[in-house]
A and B are shown apart, each in its own frame.
Chain A
Amino acid sequence: MTTRVGVVTFPGSLDDRDAQRAVKLAGAEPVALWHGDKDLRQVDAVILPGGFSYGDYLRAGAIARFSPVMETIIEQARSGLPVLGICNGFQVLCESHLLPGALTRNDHLHFVCRDQRLRVENAATAWTSAYAAGQEITIPLKNGEGGYVADARTLDELEAEGRVVFRYLEVNPNGSRRDIAGVTNAAGNVVGLMPHPEHAVEELTGPSTDGLGFFTSVLKKLVS
Chain B
Amino acid sequence: MSTSPTRHLDTVKHAAGSPDAAQPWAELGLKREEYDRIREVLGRRPTGAELAMYSVMWSEHCSYKSSKVHLRQFGDKAPHSDALLVGIGEQAGVVDVGQGYAVTFKIESHNHPSYVEPYQGAATGVGGIVRDIIAMGARPIAVLDPLRFGAADHPDTRRVLPGVVAGIGGYGNCLGLPTIGGEVVFDPCYQGNPLVNALCVGVMRHEDIHLAKASGVGNKVILYGARTGGDGIGGASILASETFDAAKPSKRPAVQVGDPFQEKLLIECTLEVFAEGLVVGIQDLGAAGLSCATSELASAGSGGMRVDLDRVPLRDPSLSPEEILMSESQERMCAVVEPGKVERFLEICAKWDVIATVIGEVTDGERLEIFWHGEQIVDVPPRTVAHDGPVYERPFARPGWQDELQADDPARLARPSGGAELRAQVLRLAGSPNQAAKSWITDQYDRYVLGNTVLAQPEDGAVLRIDEETGLGIALATDGNGRYAKLDPYAGAQLALVEAYRNVAATGARPLAVTDCLNFGSPEDPAVMWQFAEATRGLADACRVLGTPVTGGNVSLYNQTGEAAIHPTPVVGVLGVLDDVARRTPMAFREEGLLLYLLGETRAEFGGSAWADVVHGHLGGLPPRVDLERERLLAEILVAASRDGMIDAAHDLSDGGLVQAVAESCVRGGRGARLVPPDGLDPFTFLFSESTARAVVAVPRSEELRFTDMCAARNQPAARIGVVDGDALELQGHFTIPLAELRETHERTLPALFG
Contact = CB atoms under 8 A, between A and B. Distances in A.
Contacts of B688: none
A59 interface: no
Contacts of A198: 451
B581 interface: yes
Contacts of A196: 448
B60 to A, nearest CB: 34
A113 B708 CA distance: 40
A15 B446 CA distance: 11
Given A11-B352, A52-B174, A112 B452 contact: no
Interface string B153-187: 00000000000001001100111100000000000
B443 A204 contact: no
A199 B454 CA distance: 12
B471 to A, nearest CB: 8
Nearest to A201: B451
Residue among B447, B450, B451, B468 with max Cβ neighbours from chain A (10 Å): B451
B448 A111 contact: no
B451 A12 contact: no
A30 interface: no
A17 B166 contact: no
Contact of B581 (A21, A113, A140, A204): A204
A114 B443 contact: yes
Interface in A197-220: 198-199, 202, 204-206
A52 B261 contact: yes
A133 interface: no
A199 B451 CA distance: 6
Interface in A76-116: 110-114
A142 B450 CA distance: 13
B112 interface: no
B454 A205 contact: yes
A204 B174 CA distance: 24
B176 A112 contact: no
A18 interface: yes
Contacts of B704: none
Contacts of B468: 21
Interface string A175-187: 0000000000000
A55 B582 CA distance: 35
Contacts of B166: 110-111
A214 to B, nearest CB: 15
B645 to A, nearest CB: 15
B501 interface: no
A113 B451 contact: no
B259 interface: yes
Contact of B445 (A51, A55, A113): A113
Contact of A15 (B170, B449, B453, B582): B449
B732 interface: no
A113 B447 contact: yes
B18 interface: no
Contact of B261 (A17, A55, A142): A55
Nearest to B464: A205
B453 A205 contact: yes
Given A111-B169, A111-B170, A205-B454, A14 B448 contact: no
A170 B572 CA distance: 39
A204 B582 CA distance: 7
Nearest to A173: B443
A112 B198 CA distance: 20
B470 interface: no
A14 B447 CA distance: 13
Contacts of A206: 448
Nearest to B582: A204
Given A52-B261, A199-B448, A142 B173 contact: yes
B264 interface: yes
A49 to B, nearest CB: 10
A15 to B, nearest CB: 6
Residue among B352, B450, B581, B582 with max Cβ neighbours from chain A (10 Å): B450
A17 B468 CA distance: 13
A194 B444 CA distance: 16
B556 to A, nearest CB: 27
A54 B353 CA distance: 10
Contacts of A113: 443-448
Contacts of B581: 204
Nearest to A24: B468
B104 to A, nearest CB: 20
A66 interface: no
A202 to B, nearest CB: 8
Q: How large is the interface on B (under 10, 10 to 19, 20 to 34, 35 or more residues)?
A: 20 to 34
B450 A17 contact: yes
Interface string A35-61: 000000000000000111011110000
B162 to A, nearest CB: 9
Nearest to A207: B448
Interface in B444-493: 444-454, 465, 468
Contacts of A54: 261
Given A11-B352, A55-B261, A18 B447 contact: no
A199 B170 CA distance: 20
B405 interface: no
B265 interface: yes
B444 A12 contact: no
Contacts of B453: 205
Contacts of B444: 110-113
A57 B353 CA distance: 15
A113 B444 CA distance: 6
Nearest to B352: A11
A117 B223 CA distance: 47
A213 B259 CA distance: 36
A29 B259 CA distance: 34
A205 B261 contact: no
B176 A14 contact: yes
Interface string A3-42: 0000000011011011001000000000000000000000
A51 B176 contact: yes
A84 to B, nearest CB: 17
A23 B650 CA distance: 34
Interface in B566-593: 581-582
B264 A12 contact: yes
Contact of A55 (B259, B352, B443): B259
A111 to B, nearest CB: 5
Residue among A114, A140, A199 with max Cβ neighbours from chain B (10 Å): A199
B179 to A, nearest CB: 9
Contacts of A140: 448
Given A112-B443, A113-B444, A113-B446, A204 B353 contact: no
Contact of A17 (B265, B446, B451): B451
Interface string B392-432: 00000000000000000000000000000000000000000
Given A12-B261, A52-B174, A205 B465 contact: yes
Nearest to B468: A21
A18 B465 CA distance: 13
B446 A142 contact: yes
A211 to B, nearest CB: 11
Interface in B601-619: none
A61 to B, nearest CB: 14
Given A199-B448, A205-B453, A205-B454, A11 B353 contact: yes
Nearest to B453: A205
Given A12-B261, A111-B444, A55 B454 contact: no
Contacts of B174: 12, 14, 52, 55-56
Residue among B352, B447, B581 with max Cβ neighbours from chain A (10 Å): B447
14 contacts: A11-B265, A11-B353, A15-B449, A18-B448, A18-B449, A52-B264, A56-B261, A111-B169, A111-B444, A113-B446, A142-B449, A198-B451, A205-B451, A205-B453
Closest 10 CB pairs of A and B: A55-B261, A14-B176, A18-B451, A199-B448, A52-B174, A142-B446, A140-B448, A111-B444, A111-B169, A113-B446
Given A15-B449, A52-B174, 6 more contacts: A11-B265, A21-B451, A110-B166, A111-B166, A196-B448, A205-B451
